[in-house]
Amino acid sequence: MKTDIEIAQEAELRPIQEIAERMGLDGDDIVPYGHHKAKIPVDVAEAKGSSPGRLVLVTGISPTPAGEGKSTTSVGLADALALRGRNPVLCLREPSLGPVFGIKGGAAGGGLSQVVPMEDINLHFTGDFHAISSAHALLSAVLDNHLYRPNAAGLDPTRITWPRAVDMNDRALRSVVVGLGGRTGGVPRQDGFVITAASEIMAIFCLADGLDDLKERLDRIIVGSTRDGEPIRAGSLGVSGAMAVLLRDAMNPNLVQTLGGTPALVHGGPFANIAHGCNSLAATRAGLRLGDVVVTEAGFGADLGAEKFFDIKCRAGGLNPEAAVIVATVRALKMNGGVARSDLGPENVDAVGAGAVNLQGHIENVRKFGVPPIVALNLFATDTEAEIAAVRAACDELGAQMVVADPWGGGGEGCLDLADAVWNAMEAGEASYRPLYPSDTGLVEKLETVAQEIYGADGVDLEPSAAKEIEALEAAGLRDVPVCIAKTQYSFSDDPTKLGRPRGFRISVREVTPSAGAGFVVAKTGSIMTMPGLGAEPSALRVDIRDGTVTGLF
């Protein structure tokens, strides 16, 4: 059996100009990055586009090490819609180098449902992540230079909230000391790094509506405060224009293709467990203007990515999703039902039934946003008819349609039934998107609403420091913004060991930080971290290049 990278490398890719033509663009409308990648200037998409297309979200159950295949299903669905004569555009996030070389691996799909060129997308691609890391680093450098001379803003070195960023998993950088080396080394202070996918610059990048809006959002970033607690914003440091220059080209969506030849806009990459987990608003809007239907994905399970897609991205961008696909696998449901990863092969209908409560929770949650859910059971060769029937029965209990899909082995052909189900759901006109909570409620009420309605928690417990932070943030004008809850992806709770659909728990919020430029606040729960570490055997140990060919990516 060929690996994902072998399938991708053996594929015959179409010239990127041909892919652009499928979106109504000619060669002068795109900026090629070689033969198979290009950028679409935002103003071109606005000028060339027509009436808005339809929007479909792909989300999933709570992820497990067994795998769910959300990106793979997204690609297969887009290719299937193309086979049905639609004009789809796929909108995905860019992979982060940290997970690529860490545990998760790449994020370009798999099998016959991939975006290509796979190794380019998973590595440096068009340089967007480097631009975001550089813009973040520039603000960090100017901030410390301001401390050194002359600190006209009155920044308190012990109250700086702006971290540094790098696009790599590196636990040793979570807490560092900077400014050592004597008088010329700067102001000594404690600092730390976040991974680029958790940077507020990434969040801003993915929600900005053009360069002017980008600069305004960069100005609003809160970098720290004075000794009296008055917030200091990046605008007072005078560097937003230079940061926007670094981000100028990156702001234009990246155009690539699926193995089936469907246009794919792969742009932006915030994590969903510590950020809002969606591709850029610019790419989604371009897809809606240039295609009939956009298939987009939100990270991790629906409790994280979908909730943030609906409550943050759709609210900010005025988007109107008409259907949501919830991806599940028999293997993952078995794990949620208590089966160890090493024992997933044999048939276990009881475990599937026990784990299906997780799927049912996500079905109920998606409906709370007024969007009809369709369950896509991503087929594995080890799945049995009895296990599939158990999943269908769990869906039938809630009146949710379930479709068996085979994106990995069948590509678009393996997702035709799913494409039909999604299209029929949109044609039925039952969607009536609404966010979970209104904007004009307080931050604590918003946290309680998400915790109770989406996670199934009894409530929220705030650490004393978090309660003070919320009070300060509301005083700084951030009361009416959405909340972005940073939580483990493995459980509805903030405890990754509580699988299935736990009950009788509370969510512990230990820290609340501003993302004023992005337009939300981040509430950190449990033991979630903004800088991942590498595992005992990171994927980087398998990646190599031999005779000019990249190997080991997956």
85 and 187 inside one domain: no
β-pair partners for 256: 264
**Residue carrying structure tokens 């070689």:** 34
Last residue of a domain, one of 400, 427, 454: 427
399 and 265 inside one domain: yes
Measured between alpha carbons, how far is 83 from 258 in angstroms, rounded to an integer?
Answer: 13
Measured between alpha carbons, how far is 393 from 377 in angstroms, rounded to an integer?
Answer: 13
User: SS3 of 339, please?
Assistant: coil
Q: Do 87 and 19 touch, CB atoms closer than 8 A?
A: no
CA atoms within 13 A on the CB side of 515: 28
What does the pLDDT read at residue 552? 82
- DSSP label at residue 93: P
Last residue of a domain, one of 427, 452, 469: 427
Measured between alpha carbons, how far is 22 from 411 in angstroms, rounded to an integer?
Answer: 19
φ/ψ region of 313 (left if φ > 0, alpha if ψ in -120 to 50, else beta) reads alpha
394 and 282 inside one domain: yes
Q: In sequence order, what are the residues at sequence separation of 6 or more whose Cβ sits closer than 8 angstroms to the Cβ of residue 511?
A: 463, 465, 466, 469, 523, 524
Domain assignment present for 551: no
What does the pLDDT read at residue 271? 87
2 is catalytic: no
Residue 136 has pLDDT above 70, yes or no: yes
Q: Residue 370 maps to which CATH number?
A: 3.40.50.300
pLDDT digits (tens, 9 = 90+) for 6-62: 898 899 999 999 999 999 999 999 999 999 999 999 999 888 877 789 999 999 999
pLDDT digits (tens, 9 = 90+) for 480-498: 999 999 999 999 999 999 9
Helices (H) and strands (E) counted in the chain, each on its own, are 20, 24
The per-residue b/e assignment along 335-346, b for 16 or more CB within 10 angstroms, e otherwise, is bbbebeeeebee
Task: State the catalytic residue, choosing from 380, 423, 492, 520.
Answer: 380
Q: Residue 489 maps to which CATH number?
A: 3.10.410.10
Q: How far is CA 478 from CA 464, 512, 515, in A?
A: 19, 12, 9
Domain assignment present for 76: yes
pLDDT digits (tens, 9 = 90+) for 185-201: 999 999 999 999 999 99
Residue 545 has pLDDT above 70, yes or no: yes
Mean pLDDT of 100-129: 90
Residue 398 has pLDDT above 90, yes or no: yes
Residue 126 has pLDDT above 70, yes or no: yes
Residue 501's closest CA among 273, 301, 298? 301
The mean pLDDT of the chain is: 94
Measured between alpha carbons, how far is 69 from 161 in angstroms, rounded to an integer?
Answer: 36
Domain assignment present for 83: yes
Task: State the catalytic residue, choosing from 48, 104, 174, 498.
Answer: 104
Domain assignment present for 541: no
What does the pLDDT read at residue 540? 87
Helix (H) or strand (E) holding 356: helix 349-367
Residue 226: both structure tokens together: 């004075």
Neighbours of 496 (CB within 10 A): 15
φ, ψ (nearest 5 deg) of residue 242: -65, -35
Task: State the catalytic residue, choosing from 107, 108, 272, 323.
Answer: 272
**Residue carrying structure tokens 């946003």:** 369
Task: State the catalytic residue, choosing from 205, 408, 492, 520.
Answer: 408
136 and 238 inside one domain: yes
Last residue of a domain, one of 427, 458, 478: 427
What does the pLDDT read at residue 67? 78
Task: State the catalytic residue, choosing from 22, 39, 93, 501.
Answer: 93
pLDDT digits (tens, 9 = 90+) for 275-318: 899 999 999 999 999 999 999 999 899 999 999 999 999 999 99
64 is catalytic: no
346 and 462 inside one domain: no
Q: Residue 196 maps to which CATH number?
A: 3.30.1510.10
Measured between alpha carbons, how far is 482 from 506 in angstroms, rounded to an integer?
Answer: 20
First and final C-alpha spacing in the chain = 14
258 and 180 inside one domain: no
294 and 419 inside one domain: yes
397 and 270 inside one domain: yes
Domain carrying residue 474: 443-525
Domain assignment present for 550: no
104 is catalytic: yes
Q: Do 375 and 428 touch, CB atoms closer than 8 A?
A: no
Domain assignment present for 544: no
**Residue carrying structure tokens 């631009």:** 131
pLDDT band for position 209 (cuts 50, 70, 90): very high
Measured between alpha carbons, how far is 154 from 162 in angstroms, rounded to an integer?
Answer: 15
300 is catalytic: yes
Domain assignment present for 64: yes
Residue 451: both structure tokens together: 């915790």
140 and 261 inside one domain: no
37 is catalytic: no
Residue 94: both structure tokens together: 């860019």
- DSSP label at residue 278: B
φ, ψ (nearest 5 deg) of residue 130: -65, -40
Q: Do 510 and 522 touch, CB atoms closer than 8 A?
A: no
Neighbours of 548 (CB within 10 A): 5
φ/ψ region of 389 (left if φ > 0, alpha if ψ in -120 to 50, else beta) reads alpha
Q: Do 9 and 554 touch, CB atoms closer than 8 A?
A: no
Task: State the catalytic residue, choosing from 101, 271, 300, 505.
Answer: 300
Give the chain's domain count.
Answer: 3
Mean pLDDT of 352-358: 96
Residue 167: both structure tokens together: 């696009």
264 and 383 inside one domain: yes
Q: Where are the alpha helices (DSSP H) in 380-463?
A: 385-397, 407-410, 416-427, 443-450
pLDDT digits (tens, 9 = 90+) for 374-390: 999 999 999 999 999 99
What does the pLDDT read at residue 447? 98
Q: Do 502 and 493 touch, CB atoms closer than 8 A?
A: yes
Task: State the catalytic residue, choosing from 59, 72, 126, 296.
Answer: 72
How wide is the angle at C-alpha 464 spanned by C-alphas 462 and 467, nearest 5°? 60
CA atoms within 13 A on the CB side of 185: 8
Measured between alpha carbons, how far is 413 from 143 in angstroms, rounded to an integer?
Answer: 53
Q: In sequence order, what are the residues at sequence separation of 6 or more whose Cβ sits closer than 8 angstroms to the Cβ of residue 24?
A: 48, 290
457 is catalytic: no
Domain assignment present for 533: no
Residue 391's closest CA among 439, 353, 337? 353
- DSSP label at residue 323: E
Measured between alpha carbons, how far is 451 from 520 in angstroms, rounded to an integer?
Answer: 17
**Residue carrying structure tokens 């970033």:** 221
φ, ψ (nearest 5 deg) of residue 45: -60, -40
197 and 98 inside one domain: no
360 and 261 inside one domain: yes
Task: State the catalytic residue, choosing from 22, 54, 70, 308.
Answer: 70
What does the pLDDT read at residue 104? 66
Q: How far is CA 281 from CA 89, 212, 394, in A?
A: 14, 15, 34
Residue 2's closest CA among 102, 95, 112? 112
CA atoms within 13 A on the CB side of 125: 31
Measured between alpha carbons, how far is 279 from 256 in angstroms, rounded to an integer?
Answer: 14
CA atoms within 13 A on the CB side of 258: 35
